[in-house]
Amino acid sequence: MDPRTIQARIRQILAGDPHGIVAAYLFGSVARGGSAPPADVDLAVLYAHTPPPRLDSLPIALQGALERALGVAVDIVVLNRASADLVHRVLRDGVLVLDRDRSTRIRFEVQKRNEYFDLLPLLRRYRRSDVARGSER
């Protein structure tokens, strides 16, 4: 299935979502346009408000609907709860497939990018030390 068809099916499924998803991003190999049929689809969703823990089953129901529509495994990341590093990678490399509330999405993106760039010196130091530890083994 080509990336445009995948995006269209995702939009179709999310159009019926009553749980407050305001934006969704396709990321990973499908977003990069891999030539092989995808083994899975990576989707990041942004809720208008961070869903409480008791609603953690929401992405599971959505995941099932998407897997049936796409015919492949779907991994869903809730951006409201994701690390600044992961959010940055989704925003940098992902494809926006749903945008129900542009101002909420942009506010979130700006906030998370600011958090990421504030953390970037620490992330770089951590990665350098992690690489150094790996080379000592």
> Confidence band (pLDDT; 50, 70, 90) for 54?
low
* pLDDT for residue 11 is more than 60: yes
Give the structural domain span for 11.
3-132
The total number of structural domains that make up the chain: 1
Query: Residue 115 sits in a domain of what CATH number?
Result: 3.30.460.10
Is there a domain that residue 137 lies in? no
Distances (CA, A) of 49 to 24, 39, 125, 136: 14, 31, 32, 44
Is there a domain that residue 78 lies in? yes
Is there a domain that residue 115 lies in? yes
pLDDT tens column, 18-37: 778 999 999 998 888 875 77
Is there a domain that residue 20 lies in? yes
List the single range of 17-21, 51-55, 93-97 with lowest mean pLDDT: 51-55
Is there a domain that residue 84 lies in? yes
Is there a domain that residue 73 lies in? yes
Which pTM was predicted?
Answer: 0.83
Hey, which residues does 76 pair with through a beta bridge?
Answer: 43
Is there a domain that residue 61 lies in? yes
Name all contacts of 30-36 with Cβ < 8 Å and 24+ positions apart. 30/3, 30/6, 31/3, 31/93, 31/94, 31/95, 32/93, 33/3
